[in-house]
Structure 1
Amino acid sequence: MIDLDETDRALIRALALDATQSAGALGRELGLSQPACWRRIKRLREAGVFRGLRLDLDREALGFGVTVFLGVKLATKGRVSLQDFERAVSAIPEVQTVEHVLGMYDYRLRVVARDISDFERVLRRRIMTLPGVGNLDANVLLSEERLPGPI
């Protein structure tokens, strides 16, 4: 774990809002020189605070109007079955996230589809045929009020 001061936290917040900002622009915003700002960014990256840059896509603009959270309970549990399931589900392009969770279900998936009939196709032909799948529970996303951001 890295020690963060207020300037580091402000830098993280600014980059979370717009990661395309230059070190010079960020430095001016935070009262730092461009080289000092660049060194802080480099230190944070090397410490693993930043795992990479990500493009935030508008799913609806790309034709994916439905998002479904799917709870998956595996029929059998063992190290091999978990790995087989994770490997297979990660290969499905419509599955945006795969979260191994504790509780009623073993996994929580975020699945996007063009519409409900497209989701049904993905569910029947891809997800329900995965190794070890037992029970499923689907929740359709109605609206998203807050997107993931900095802690």
Structure 2
Amino acid sequence: MLDDTDRRILRQYQADPDLTVAALSERANVSAGACWRRLEKMRAAGIIQGQERVIDWAALGYAVQVSLRVTLDKTQRLAFDEFIAAARALPEVLEIQTFLGRTDVRLLVIARDMGHYMDVYRSRILHLPHMADIEPLMHVATIRSDESLPL
């Protein structure tokens, strides 16, 4: 589906999504017109889904990150839907993932400090519907975090 030129464009685009088409085409060694057409084709195909800005929440004073592994009461027909809808409403929940296996859902929760986390945990997380079990995993360090694909 992608040829070498598309891959060159995507590699440069991943490295710096703020590049103008002219600068991107120069780095990818393709004409500006061809670069623009290929970018539009990849957007239309859903390969490029947009650009996003990443905000460093730790720099804004959120020093605690906890991953919560949740097992739901699967005897309840709407357990997943109701749990996810309630978890989405919590501003401290940055990410929600679902799984097949012993863990049904993982929540990524941030807080300013341990006191704030305990308040969020006790007053909001523990009141989410249909939880059968919850296991918090305290984040200690990020060793590698990379969204780039090996193109």
What amino acid does structure 1 have at the position aligned with 2:105? Answer: Y
Q: Which residue of 2 aligns with 1:29?
A: 27
Q: What do you get for the CA RMSD once the two structures are aligned? A: 1.5
Which runs of no fewer than 5 residues in structure 1 stay unpaired?
none
1:110 equivalent to 2:108? Answer: yes
* Greater shift in the superposed pair: 73-82 or 139-148: 73-82
Q: Which residue of 1 aligns with 2:70?
A: 72
What amino acid does structure 1 have at the position aligned with 2:113? Answer: D
Query: Runs ≥4 in structure 1, deviation > 4 angstroms?
Result: none
Q: Matches of 1:11 and 1:91 in 2, distance apart?
A: 38
What amino acid does structure 2 have at the position aligned with 1:114? Answer: R
Cα pair distance change 1:20/1:78, threshold 3 Å = farther
Give me the identity figure in percent: 34
What amino acid does structure 1 have at the position aligned with 2:28? Answer: L
On the 8 A contact 1:67/1:111 being kept in 2, the answer is yes
Q: Which residue of 1 aligns with 2:55?
A: 57
1:131 is aligned, of 129, 132, 138, to 129
Q: Note the C-alpha offset of 1:79.
A: 4.5
Count of residues in Structure 1 that have an aligned counterpart in Structure 2: 149
Which runs of no fewer than 5 residues in structure 2 stay unpaired?
none
Cα pair distance change 1:17/1:77, threshold 3 Å = farther
What secondary structure does 1:60 align onto? Answer: coil
TM-score (norm: length of structure 2): 0.91
- Aligned pairs for 1:1-20 (under 5 A) are 3-20=1-18
Q: Deviations over 1:66-111 (max 9, x none)?
A: 1111101112344422111111111111111100012221001111
